[in-house]
Structure formats: structure tokens, C-alpha cells
């Protein structure tokens, strides 16, 4: 009888503990779900969507073509693929979608052309993917720019943006590198992670949606090697561009 009583008490304690943990996990899941929902972006009628960044965004676009919703103006990368889905899905919204990415750009390059290539376009949704060159040039060209400096430059850029476009919705793309594919060697890490963390911190500070491209590509390598998704560890193949576009569209409600 004592054994049964002890067993009953033990089972009751374990059961209560499991129930408490289950409630805790449920609360955490709900909290995370609410967090994710709060950072997703709704598409509204007459939205102006601008993709900004470096060569990954540029992807061979015709820079002389300034038109919205134009194949040649959008390039052949993730920006084009994401734009195609948006324009088809929201055909009744009168969207205008632009690409102003320029190959080789770093944060200082964005700052130098920001008025003409961003503010003057008056985007209501602004997507920025930058950072890989800010790090890469420290490896191949002797540039000096720490993650802390990069973060301050990024903060300044967004502060200037919000001062002129206070209602713009921000999307921050995490810079990524696929290891052991041509340019992206093991010695990129852990240093490169500092620039990635800066983007994570900035997304929180400015209440921006964050696209975790590094983990997206890491997970994709479970299906195929890095060379399937990128040509050199940074620039995408067609499959990689589609992967990026899907990651981008995931932040849209």
C-alpha cells in the first residue's frame, strides 16, 4: 500500500511537471508565433516595393532601365522571381516594384546613392541585402571595416531613411556565405558571423522583418551541395535564386 501510494504521488508530481512544461512550451510557441506575425508585412494597394543591395540583388539588371515591373530592370535573380509572384498574386493592388542593387556595393556605396536610388523612389516597402562585400573586401582587398563599424554605418543609413520615409516597412536580408564553394573558405568564419549578427541586431532595433538567408542555405545543403545553390558561395544559381525568393516571400502575410 505504501508502495502504491508512493508511486501515485510520484506519478502525480511527474504529471504536474509535464503539464507545466507543456503549458510553458505552448506559451513560448504562441509568443514566437506572435513575434513572427508582428514581423510579417502586409501588401497594400499602390505599394511601392524596392529591392536594394549588391550584386546578389543586381543580378544582371539593365541599370539604364528605370521602369517598375520590368523583366530587364529587375534582373535575373531573387528580386525578379519574388516580384513575379507578387505581381501575379496581387494583380488588383497596382504594385510598383523596382530593383536598384549594384554589384560590389557596400554600405558606404549605398549611402552615396541613397537619395536618388531610394528616397526619390518613395518606397513603402524597402528590402535591403548588404554586408557580404563589407566583409569580403577585408579578406581580398585589405579593406578595414569591423562588424562594429558596419553596424554603425547601417544604423545611420536606416535612421536617415526613416527621417524621410517614416512609414516605410523594412526588410533586412541576412548576408550569407556557402562554405567551401570557391570564394567562401573556412577562414570566413567566425569573422563573417559578426556582420551577420549586426544585421540581426539592426532588424530588431528598427522593427524590420529579417530573412535568415544563412540558415536557409545551410538547410538547403541537406538536399544538394552548396555548389548546386551558388556559383561561388555568394552568387546564386537559378535554384539558389528561387530559394532566396521563397525566403523573401515568407515575410509577406
The pLDDT assigned to 1 comes to 46
Q: Is the CB of residue 172 less than 8 Å from the CB of residue 203?
A: yes
Q: Is the CB of residue 184 less than 8 Å from the CB of residue 232?
A: yes
Stated pTM of the model? 0.84
**Does pLDDT of 21 surpass 70?**
no
Q: Is the CB of residue 97 less than 8 Å from the CB of residue 87?
A: yes
What are 152-179's pLDDT values in tens digits? 999 999 999 999 999 999 999 999 999 8
The pLDDT assigned to 35 comes to 40
- Dist CA 203 CA 206 (whole Å): 5
What are 202-237's pLDDT values in tens digits? 999 999 999 999 999 999 999 999 999 999 999 999
The pLDDT assigned to 28 comes to 34
Facing residues of 172 across strands? 128, 210
The pLDDT assigned to 2 comes to 43
- Dist CA 188 CA 183 (whole Å): 9
Pairing of strands 125-129, 169-173: parallel
**Does pLDDT of 6 surpass 80?**
no
Average pLDDT over the chain reads 88
What are 113-153's pLDDT values in tens digits? 999 999 999 999 999 999 999 998 988 777 888 999 999 99
The pLDDT assigned to 141 comes to 79
Side-chain half-sphere of 101: how many Cα atoms within 13 Å?
A: 32
**Does pLDDT of 83 surpass 80?**
yes
SS3 call for 53: strand
User: Residue range 11-25: average pLDDT?
Assistant: 41
**Does pLDDT of 88 surpass 70?**
yes
What are 40-78's pLDDT values in tens digits? 999 999 999 999 999 999 999 999 999 999 999 999 999
Amino acid at each position: 500500500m505504501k508502495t502504491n501510494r508512493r508511486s501515485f504521488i510520484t506519478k502525480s508530481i511527474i504529471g504536474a511537471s509535464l503539464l507545466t512544461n507543456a503549458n510553458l512550451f505552448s506559451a513560448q510557441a504562441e509568443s514566437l508565433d506572435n513575434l513572427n506575425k508582428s514581423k510579417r508585412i502586409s501588401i497594400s494597394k499602390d505599394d511601392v516595393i524596392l529591392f536594394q543591395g549588391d550584386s546578389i540583388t543586381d543580378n544582371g539588371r539593365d541599370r539604364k532601365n528605370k521602369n517598375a515591373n520590368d523583366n530587364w530592370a529587375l534582373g535575373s535573380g531573387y528580386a525578379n522571381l519574388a516580384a513575379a509572384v507578387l505581381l501575379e498574386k496581387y494583380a488588383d493592388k497596382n504594385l510598383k516594384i523596382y530593383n536598384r542593387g549594384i554589384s560590389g556595393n557596400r554600405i558606404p556605396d549605398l549611402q552615396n546613392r541613397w537619395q536618388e536610388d531610394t528616397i526619390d523612389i518613395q518606397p513603402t516597402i524597402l528590402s535591403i541585402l548588404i554586408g557580404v562585400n563589407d566583409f569580403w573586401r577585408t579578406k581580398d582587398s585589405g579593406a578595414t571595416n569591423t562588424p562594429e563599424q558596419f553596424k554603425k554605418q547601417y544604423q545611420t543609413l536606416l535612421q536617415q531613411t526613416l527621417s524621410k520615409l517614416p512609414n516605410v516597412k523594412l526588410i533586412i536580408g541576412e548576408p550569407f556565405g556557402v562554405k567551401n564553394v570557391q570564394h567562401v573558405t573556412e577562414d570566413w568564419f567566425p569573422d563573417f558571423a559578426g556582420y551577420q549578427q549586426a544585421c540581426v541586431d539592426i532588424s530588431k532595433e528598427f522593427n524590420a522583418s529579417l530573412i535568415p538567408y544563412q540558415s536557409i542555405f545551410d538547410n538547403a545543403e541537406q538536399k544538394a551541395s552548396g555548389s548546386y545553390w551558388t556559383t561561388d558561395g555568394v552568387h546564386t544559381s537559378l535554384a539558389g535564386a528561387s530559394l532566396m525568393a521563397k525566403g523573401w516571400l515568407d515575410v509577406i502575410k
